[in-house]
């Protein structure tokens, strides 16, 4: 295997024996082959559009398939086998793209051994040139990010053919020998599409569940048994809350589900009690102590311990061998009665050590812009000197303590703008407010980075300056491929001088890094003191 798509990749260069995430060699092979087949579908489907014989559903299938290959989403060979079979069926039902076709359009697996053999020649390392590999990988990982967000929006009925067409265009491009400037242009176009898909998901979430309100979320536990829901999918939460409302159990959010508390549609459920635990990588300890069932709706899924594995359920694109999967019926409805029945037999959750501090969330664009006069006034009066965007992901390495230390060391006249699970590094520090404005403004999930962009654009307008002239610094923490997309989206909006950590991506070659530094002034993070001195330009 060779995988270098996430920040925790071995030695910062690539996982070759087994993933740090727990991904086995075999699953990596199935994922590589699935991506390869999606490239074949893309070539044929794009050609079929011109003949009016395309499959309009192929784009959503590709989004689902790529989402399944994202870090910490799915570890189940049976699910990948089913996706590979479906990919072949979709591709083979399309007309030929021409008299000669790339192998990805014609190759067919005859069984397990075939898939493993094929994976040796179609994965990341099949591109020999380091810089071409780097650009193709950057594009592929950005496309994976688009896929994840697109799938969420589509579940809520919001689709956009321009996005799925780009997914196919991007995938098909990786089979061609394109000049470097064309590849760079595609990476930038991926960033543009990132902004588009983030806006689409924002519209999907807010039209279904209302505009997030600034909300204080409890982290204490109740006396009744609980169900824990983790991941990013709000539709799953909605169905779970509705089905469990009279069952005598409570529902708690975990990880990236915390911002759900801010949506008006979920506030009506009094049994949505609070948030339990923190970011994804703590799940082994936290799920153990939760005592009740846990529903995974998306990443991040950490291979479970046997002690609590029997209480886990997955849905959507997530999967783990032996963990029951709850699928939607043809109308999109999911039956969570098994989870609710199990919860009733469980002990209530145990309070986690150090928990109890309320967490503020829901500082999305509408809620913050409702305070625009106050915020602009505080900047003009000098009460707020600088905003630091500290959005992104959390991860398990010790070096991520940097983000807690950085937040603690920030001067009292600064405000953190955050989104994603990176916030758990500093959202319970109690770093206070400035004139009633919380100093940690949590816009929501990683996809709600879109809100941060809207806020920055509104501030730029209010001050009559460009986005790079604002008193805003970017100190972004990344882990998986959605964060890659968010970064590309920021770059496509012209945001410069972003600090990225805790390590630069292993898939960025020296020449590509040089381009990013020259064009966008992208920097790796260093020490708290040095980065603080650079960012706090008073």
Which residues in this chain contact ligand SF3 in the complex, by CB under 6 A? 255-256, 280, 299-300, 393, 420-421, 445-446, 479-480, 482-483
- The binder of 215, among ligand SF3, ligand SF4, none, by C-beta within 5 to 8 A per type, is none
- Per-residue binding string, ligand SF4, 55-74, x by CB under 6 A, is ----------------x---
**Identity of the residue, 373 or 399, whose beta carbon is nearer to ligand SF4 in the bound complex:** 399
The number of angstroms, rounded, from the C-alpha of 409 to the middle of its chain's C-alpha atoms is: 28
Among 325, 315, 343, 332, CA closest to 252: 343
User: In which residue are the tokens 């020998």 written?
Assistant: 177
- Per-residue binding string, ligand SF4, 6-25, x by CB under 6 A, is x-xx-----x---xxx-x--
- The binder of 300, among ligand SF4, ligand SF3, none, by C-beta within 5 to 8 A per type, is ligand SF3
Residues 156-215 interacting with ligand SF4 (rule: CB under 6 A): none
Among 48, 46, 30, 52, CA closest to 173: 46
Q: Does 376 bind ligand SF4 (CB under 6 A)?
A: no
**Identity of the residue, 3 or 249, whose beta carbon is nearer to ligand SF4 in the bound complex:** 3
Three-class SS state of 116: helix
- The binder of 6, among ligand SF4, ligand SF3, none, by C-beta within 5 to 8 A per type, is ligand SF4
- The binder of 445, among ligand SF3, ligand SF4, none, by C-beta within 5 to 8 A per type, is ligand SF3
- For residues 244 and 225, give the distance between their C-alpha atoms in angstroms, rounded to a whole number: 12
For the bound state, the minimum distance from the C-beta of residue 334 to ligand SF3, rounded and expressed in Å, comes to 21
- The binder of 256, among ligand SF4, ligand SF3, none, by C-beta within 5 to 8 A per type, is ligand SF3
The residues, any chain, with a CB within 8 Å of residue 476's CB and separated by 6 or more, are 389, 390, 391, 392, 483, 486, 487, 490, 498, 499, 500, 501
Three-class SS state of 508: coil
Residues 420-439 interacting with ligand SF4 (rule: CB under 6 A): none
- For residues 20 and 98, give the distance between their C-alpha atoms in angstroms, rounded to a whole number: 42
Q: What are phi and psi of 389, to 5 degrees?
A: -80, 110
How many residues are given for the chain?
Answer: 538
Segment near ligand SF4 (CB under 6 A); pick from 2-10, 51-59, 153-161, 495-503? 2-10
- The binder of 420, among ligand SF3, ligand SF4, none, by C-beta within 5 to 8 A per type, is ligand SF3
- The binder of 4, among ligand SF3, ligand SF4, none, by C-beta within 5 to 8 A per type, is ligand SF4
Three-class SS state of 392: strand
For the bound state, the minimum distance from the C-beta of residue 2 to ligand SF4, rounded and expressed in Å, comes to 9
- Per-residue binding string, ligand SF4, 505-524, x by CB under 6 A, is --------------------
Quote the radius of gyration of the chain (alpha carbons, Å): 23
**Two structure tokens written together for 522:** 């992208």
**Identity of the residue, 141 or 252, whose beta carbon is nearer to ligand SF4 in the bound complex:** 141
Segment near ligand SF4 (CB under 6 A); pick from 3-11, 170-178, 403-411, 450-458? 3-11
- The binder of 54, among ligand SF3, ligand SF4, none, by C-beta within 5 to 8 A per type, is none
Q: Does 4 bind ligand SF4 (CB under 6 A)?
A: yes
> DSSP letter at 15?
B
Number of other CB atoms surrounding residue 467 within 10 Å: 17
- The binder of 254, among ligand SF4, ligand SF3, none, by C-beta within 5 to 8 A per type, is none
Among 137, 127, 109, CA closest to 177: 127
- For residues 412 and 144, give the distance between their C-alpha atoms in angstroms, rounded to a whole number: 38
Q: Does 138 bind ligand SF4 (CB under 6 A)?
A: no
Q: Does 148 bind ligand SF4 (CB under 6 A)?
A: no
Longest dimension (CA), the chain: 70
- Where b means 16+ CB within 10 Å and e means fewer, 343-365 reads beebebbeebeebeeebbbbbbb
For the bound state, the minimum distance from the C-beta of residue 502 to ligand SF3, rounded and expressed in Å, comes to 13
- Cα 65 to Cα 32, 33, 36, 59, 190: the distances in Å are 11, 11, 11, 10, 18
**Identity of the residue, 19 or 109, whose beta carbon is nearer to ligand SF4 in the bound complex:** 19
For the bound state, the minimum distance from the C-beta of residue 162 to ligand SF3, rounded and expressed in Å, comes to 24
- For residues 44 and 445, give the distance between their C-alpha atoms in angstroms, rounded to a whole number: 35
Q: Compute how many residues bind ligand SF4; rule: CB under 6 A.
A: 12
Three-class SS state of 516: helix
Beta bridge partners of 315: 326
> DSSP letter at 348?
P
263 within 8 A of 234, measured Cβ to Cβ: yes
Name the closest residue to ligand SF4 (Cβ).
19
Positions that interact with ligand SF4 (CB under 6 A): 3-6, 8-9, 15, 19-21, 23, 71
């Amino acid at each position: 295997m060779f995988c270098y798509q996430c920040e925790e990749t071995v030695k910062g260069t690539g996982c070759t024996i087994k993933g740090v995430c727990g991904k086995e060699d075999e699953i990596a092979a199935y994922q590589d082959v699935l991506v390869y087949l999606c490239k074949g579908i893309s070539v044929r489907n794009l050609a079929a559009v011109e003949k009016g014989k395309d499959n309009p559903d192929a784009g959503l299938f590709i989004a689902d398939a790529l989402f399944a290959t994202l870090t910490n989403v799915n570890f189940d060979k049976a699910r990948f086998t089913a996706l590979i079979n479906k990919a072949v069926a979709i591709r083979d039902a399309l007309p030929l793209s021409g008299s000669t076709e790339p192998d990805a359009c014609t190759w067919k697996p005859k069984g397990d051994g075939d898939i493993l053999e094929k994976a040796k020649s179609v994965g990341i390392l099949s591109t020999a040139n380091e810089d071409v590999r780097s650009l193709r990988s950057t594009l592929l990982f950005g496309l994976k990010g688009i896929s994840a967000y697109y799938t969420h929006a589509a579940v809520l009925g919001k689709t956009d053919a321009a996005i799925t067409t780009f997914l196919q265009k991007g995938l098909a491009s990786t089979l061609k020998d394109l000049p470097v400037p064309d590849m760079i242009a595609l990476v930038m176009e991926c960033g543009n599409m990132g902004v588009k898909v983030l806006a689409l998901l924002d519209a999907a979430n807010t039209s279904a569940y209302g505009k997030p309100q600034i909300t204080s979320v409890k982290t204490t536990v109740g006396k009744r048994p609980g169900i824990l829901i983790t991941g990013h999918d709000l539709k799953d939460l909605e169905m779970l809350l509705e089905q469990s409302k009279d069952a005598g159990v409570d529902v708690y959010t975990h990880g990236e589900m915390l911002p759900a508390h801010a949506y008006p549609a979920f506030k009506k459920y009094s049994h949505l009690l609070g948030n339990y635990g923190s970011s994804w990588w703590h799940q082994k300890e936290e799920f153990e102590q939760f005592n009740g069932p846990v529903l995974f709706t998306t990443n991040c899924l950490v291979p479970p311990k046997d002690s609590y594995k029997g209480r886990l359920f997955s849905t959507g694109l997530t999967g783990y061998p032996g963990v029951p999967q709850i699928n939607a019926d043809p109308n999109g409805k999911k039956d969570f009665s098994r989870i609710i029945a199990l919860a009733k037999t469980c002990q209530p959750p145990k309070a986690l050590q150090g928990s109890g501090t309320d967490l503020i969330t829901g500082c999305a664009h509408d809620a913050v812009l409702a305070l625009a006069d106050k915020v602009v006034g505080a900047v003009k009066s000098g009460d707020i000197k600088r905003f630091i965007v500290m959005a992104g992901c959390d991860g398990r390495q010790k070096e991520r303590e940097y983000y807690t230390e950085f937040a603690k060391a920030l001067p009292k006249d600064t405000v953190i703008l955050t989104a994603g699970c990176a916030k758990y590094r500093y959202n319970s520090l109690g770093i206070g407010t400035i004139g009633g404005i919380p100093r940690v403004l949590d816009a929501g999930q990683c996809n709600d980075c879109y809100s941060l962009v809207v806020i920055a654009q509104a501030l730029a307008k209010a001050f009559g300056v460009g986005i790079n002239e604002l008193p805003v610094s970017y100190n972004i923490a990344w882990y998986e491929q959605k964060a890659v997309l968010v970064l590309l989206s920021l770059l496509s909006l012209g945001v410069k001088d972003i600090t990225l950590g805790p390590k630069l991506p292993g898939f960025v070659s020296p020449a590509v890094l040089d381009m990013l530094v020259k064009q966008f002034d992208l920097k790796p993070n260093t020490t708290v003191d040095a980065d603080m001195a650079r960012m706090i330009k008073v």
